[in-house]
Amino acid sequence: MSSGIASVASPEEIAKYEPVIGLEVHVQLNTRTKIFCGCPARFGAPPNTNVCPVCLGLPGALPVLNREAVEMAIQAALATHCRVNPFSRFARKNYFYPDLPKGYQISQYDQPLAEHGWIEVSAGGARKRIGVTRIHLEDDAGKSIHDGFKDSDRYTYVDLNRSGTPLIEIVSEPNLRSSEEAYEYLTELKQVIEYVGVSECDMEKGQLRCDANVSVRLKGAEKFGTKAEVKNLNSFRFAKLALDYEIARQVAVIESGGRVEQETRLYNVATGETAGMRSKEHAHDYRYFPEPDLVPLRVSEAWLERIRAEMPELPADKRQRFIESYGLREYDAQVLTATRAISDYFEKVATAAGDPRTAANWVTGDLLGALKGRDISEAPVSAEQLGELVGLIAKGEISGKLAKEIFAKMIETGDAARVIIDREGLRQISDTGALGQMVDEVIAANPKQVEQYKSGKTAVLGFLVGQVMKVSKGQANPAAVNELLRAKLL
């Protein structure tokens, strides 16, 4: 009776239940060639040109496992704290689909490559570990392209360029308890995969695909409810929206006396609803059996150690290092490690400037502000150039205020800070001779305030400093002006 119910539950009803969520994420590995043949694994080639007997599934063709794909899968496994099994095995997952010419997918079943990992997410202010059940390798299917909209003019084309590109499937434990946690998990997972560089994780290109399993149970109940699997989630935001809808739908089904059915549902972006697609197939429907054309996969201790030694620094470690060795605030460290490219940019600025904390302020504030959400690779000012500017502030050669003007001109002209300073005579005036003259001028022009100051109203000093700054057109060093004024007004 579930699928016919369109209504969703009220917030009060939803509040009685606890969602249970587990995610299955497919990530396309960016190997040069496909997982079981030598065809290029690249995108954008004309349809059906990157194909051979193996990935076309022609009779008699034999698969050969791509070492690079295994190494990338191991890197992803280590990055998610999984145990890599020394012995794993491929299995055939049988099903029919027009873009699956073999009639089966080569995947891993009872003996996957890696297991027992975790990913940390923030949940209500605290950190929470979400278990990674397993990571296994498999080949991707081809692509069906549907074209035409009239019944008399409707075609489906099959492009097998994607057939045989390597995927890893990352399966989480049902540890997630809200759509927010699911969103966090996906964000952290994507970040870590991007850091190790085994995939660009571009969801629009299908390099990262997510299926969400969700059930609800009364708060305090021990037993999990029956789950539904939601597919067709094209962005993390849609995944969150789809989960919110599905949670409300399941609560409504139960509250109205019905039972949630185990099924696969599709999220519809246009309506924001999920709809039943098929009743969930069971493992025995796939007739899994060990792949007879491939030997078992053995990962030696030495191989694993070599890969471990070559792992790049992971985001969590980098965050910690930024806090400890640069003295950054937690929040800044978070922002500056969001992607590997941002962290690299920041470290270059910090090194060139010799002042990591000022560098952090400039990268998180002015630079990211100027980017307005665009990628750091499009930064209008190079890390070296920004580093020079920040270095000039650190050395006291220019004030922070002046630096902002110079920064705006750097973006406008592409020139280096020093070039702009020299051209426009913008250097900060700290020379006491030149400043002394200006201070004298201001004292002479403001007898009333000078009198007030001398009679004990010292707050008026700020006004006098401001006057000197004005006279200097903002170029005076405020600290030096302050000192000079005090001395002269004694």
Q: Write down the number of H helices and E strands in the chain.
A: 17, 16
Q: Which does 174 bind (CB under 5 to 8 A by kind): ligand ADP, Zn ion, none?
A: ligand ADP
Is residue 22 a contact residue for ligand ADP (CB under 6 A)?
A: yes
- How many residues in the shown chain lie near Zn ion by CB under 5 A? 5
Nearer to ligand ADP, 171 or 360 (CB): 171
| Stretch of 16-24, 49-57, 67-75, 250-258 lying at the interface with ligand ADP (CB under 6 A) | 16-24
We find the least distance from the C-beta atom of residue 88 to Zn ion, in angstroms, to be 23
Separation between Cα atoms, residue 402 and residue 398, nearest integer Å: 6
Q: How many angstroms separate the Cα of 173 from the Cα of each of 132, 212, 292, 401, 460?
A: 6, 12, 30, 51, 65
Sign of the Cα torsion 255, 258, 262, 265 reads negative
- Shorter beta-carbon distance to ligand ADP: residue 184 or 366: 184
Per DSSP, helices labelled H in 179-300 are 179-196, 236-255
Residues 319-348 that bind ligand ADP (CB under 6 A): none
Give the C-alpha separation, 188 to 181, whole Å. Answer: 10
Helices marked H in 3-66: 11-15
- Picked from Zn ion, ligand ADP, none, the partner binding residue 370 (CB below 5 to 8 A depending on kind) is none
In 3-state terms, what secondary structure has residue 361?
A: helix
Residue 258 binding ligand ADP, by CB under 6 A: no
**Binding of ligand ADP at residue 20 (CB under 6 A)?**
yes
473: left (phi over 0), alpha (psi -120 to 50) or beta: left
Q: Using CB distances below 5 to 8 A depending on partner kind, what does residue 266 bind out of ligand ADP, Zn ion, none?
A: none
Contacts made by residues 277-282, CB under 8 angstroms, sequence distance 24+: 277/231, 280/228, 280/229
Check residue 141 for interaction with Zn ion (CB under 5 A).
Answer: no
Question: 232 is written with which tokens?
Answer: 């067709």
Crossing angle of helices 340-353/315-326, nearest 10°? Answer: 20
The stretch among 3-11, 50-58, 325-333, 448-456 that binds Zn ion (CB under 5 A) is 50-58
CA atoms within 13 A on the CB side of 300: 3
Please give the C-alpha separations between residue 223 and each of 220, 229, 279, in angstroms, as whole numbers: 9, 18, 22
390 forms part of the interface with Zn ion (CB under 5 A) = no
Does 358 participate in binding ligand ADP (rule CB under 6 A)?
Answer: no
Contact positions with ligand ADP (CB under 6 A) in 223-252: 224, 227
Residue 13 interaction partner, one of Zn ion, ligand ADP, none, beta carbon < 5-8 Å per kind: none
The reply on whether position 180 binds ligand ADP by CB under 6 A is no
Interacting positions 204-223 with ligand ADP (CB under 6 A): 213-215
Residue 23 interacts, among Zn ion, ligand ADP, none and using kind-specific CB cut-offs from 5 to 8 Å, with ligand ADP
Residue 381's binding partner among ligand ADP, Zn ion, none (Cβ under 5 to 8 angstroms by kind) is none
Nearest approach, Cβ of 19 to ligand ADP (angstroms)?
Answer: 8
In the list 13, 24, 255, 313, the residue contacting ligand ADP (rule: CB under 6 A) is 24
Partner whose footprint covers residue 39, from Zn ion, ligand ADP, none (CB < 5 to 8 Å by kind): Zn ion
Distance CA 310, CA 303 (A): 11
Count the Cβ atoms, other than its own, within 10 Å of residue 132. Answer: 26
170 binds, among ligand ADP, Zn ion, none (CB under 5 to 8 A by kind): none
**Shortest gap between Cβ of 179 and ligand ADP (angstroms)?**
13
Which tokens in the block code for residue 195? Answer: 């850091």
The residue number whose beta carbon is nearest to ligand ADP equals 22
Count of residues interacting with ligand ADP (CB under 6 A): 16
Radius of gyration of the chain (CA): 31
> Can residue 37 be called a binding residue for Zn ion (CB under 5 A)?
yes
Give the position of tokens 């400043």.
Answer: 435
Alpha helices in 47-162 (DSSP H): 67-79
Chain position carrying tokens 């079981």: 36
Residue 164 binding ligand ADP, by CB under 6 A: no
Helix (H) or strand (E) holding 481: helix 478-488
Nearer to Zn ion, 59 or 125 (CB): 59
Cβ-contact 255, 225 below 8 angstroms: no
Choosing among Zn ion, ligand ADP, none, which partner's interface includes residue 55 (Cβ < 5 to 8 Å by kind)?
Zn ion
Binder of residue 16, out of ligand ADP, Zn ion, none (CB less than 5 to 8 A by kind): none
Interacting residue ranges for Zn ion, rule: CB under 5 A: 37, 39, 52, 54-55
Which positions lie near ligand ADP, rule CB under 6 A? 20-24, 171-174, 213-215, 224, 227, 280, 283
